[in-house]
Amino acid sequence: MEKQVIHLNIADFAVGVERVADRRFRTRPLIIAPDGGPRSTVFDMSDEAFREGVRKGMSLSRAKRLARTAVIIPPKFDLYERAMKAFVKHAYPFSRLVEHGNGDGHLFMDVTGTRRLFGFPQDVAERVRRSIIGDIRLNPIWSVASNKLVAKVATRLVKPLGEYIVNGGDEEKFIEPIRLNLLPGLFGEEIERFRELNIVTAGAVRPFSPVQLDVLFGKRARTIFEKVRGIDYSQLLCQNDGKGKIESGHTFKPDTNDASLLDSALYGCVERVGMELRGRRLALREVNILVDYCDGNRVHKKSSASAPVSSNSDIFDIALKALNSAWTRRVRIRHIRIACEKLSPMELQLDFFTVSGNGISAPRPLDKAFDSIRVRFGKGAVMTGRTFGGDAP
């Protein structure tokens, strides 16, 4: 059975989300970048700013000189992630095999073998597109192909709006005229090496044998040989509708660098994560934390435990260590989020108290009692002293 992959891409995703959130940005050039230092770079830009020469990763100072009338706002990563979740949920009714990022506007769906259920892949793509427009008012590009590589290139050709279908067997013919800088997965130095040989398209690389490419690129030779022919055997990295990941976040209003408020908000996030963990009889060994500063800078850190844990106090100790590692600036913090992905089954028999090298941790039955109360009477029915009176919900 021929594989069928749909790629949906909301061009300039962060800009699109900002324009939905604030109508004032819809008719003006927009640059999204942290404006907190001389090394700030462009995170995203509108099509108007792009036409004036602004590019992602460009220094903000240069972008300001190129697009003098552009509005500059700091990135809101938590907002983009929430929009991404709303985007992704429209794909799951049609496929369990969905790959997506946290906030980049890209989504892959494997709809192989679903034609009798939902119709042709292009019909599925169009149904998902219309559903997304109706829900979050963003209009994605879509493409259908036999693999992720060809599907992604196809959407790049019709950006910012449109659709593209590459029939099975036409992959090599489709890729032949494509410029190398449009092929995902090629490094900048590899494209520059080809440019030195006066080669700029995939078709011009075809005469090179794997042995000849090995002389130029070593271990990367086989990958390049396949890419310029539209060959891609990679499978979708599925998130399984979020079931393999537990996360919780908090946005401060107003932004803050008050240690007590951060402590309170972090513990509130830990309680929500811990409650879901115990409800699913899981434990974790690693906590990832994201800290978004008010100037748009984002810091990601992680911390691990020596053994799987599921009690709130143990999770908090790990999360606090990660937060302290990420909180290295005097700038106020806008948002924090903790995520747990490396999950394992919980022990069947739990001790009333867990003894560690630092003494006795919080009793696990107390956590379970709190969970029961919150399930029955609501999340605010019972609170710990650490979260009482703080900013955490």
* d(C-alpha 248, C-alpha 271), whole Å: 9
250/348 same-domain check: yes
Q: Is the pLDDT of residue 294 over 90?
A: no
Q: What is the 3-state secondary structure (H, E, C) of 111-154?
A: CCCCHHHHCCHHHHHHHHHHHHHHHHCCCCEEEEECCHHHHHHH
Query: Would 311 be classed as within a structural domain?
Result: yes
212/328 same-domain check: no
Query: Would 104 be classed as within a structural domain?
Result: no
Among 237-246, 256-265, 301-310, 346-355, the minimum mean pLDDT is found in 346-355
Q: Is the pLDDT of residue 354 over 70?
A: no
254/210 same-domain check: no
Residue 200: which domain range? 172-227
The string of pLDDT tens digits covering residues 142-170 is 999 999 999 999 999 998 889 999 999 99
Find the length of the chain: 393
302/185 same-domain check: no
256/327 same-domain check: yes
The total number of structural domains in the chain stands at 2
Between 184 and 370, name the one with better pLDDT.
184
Between 21 and 2, name the one with better pLDDT.
21
Among 221-225, 308-312, 340-344, the minimum mean pLDDT is found in 340-344
277/371 same-domain check: yes
Residue 58: closest CA among 77, 69, 72, 79: 72
Instruction: Give the list of residues 6+ apart from residue 234 with CB closer than 8 angstroms, or none.
Output: 147, 148, 149
Residue 295: closest CA among 249, 262, 334, 254: 334
CATH number at residue 188: 1.10.150.20
Banded model confidence at residue 66, pLDDT cuts 50, 70, 90? very high
Query: Would 119 be classed as within a structural domain?
Result: no
Q: What pTM was computed for the model?
A: 0.72
pLDDT of residue 363: 43
Which amino acid is located at 365 in the chain? P
254/305 same-domain check: yes
% of the chain surpassing 90 pLDDT: 51
355/251 same-domain check: yes
356/312 same-domain check: yes
Residue 145: closest CA among 166, 129, 114, 172: 166
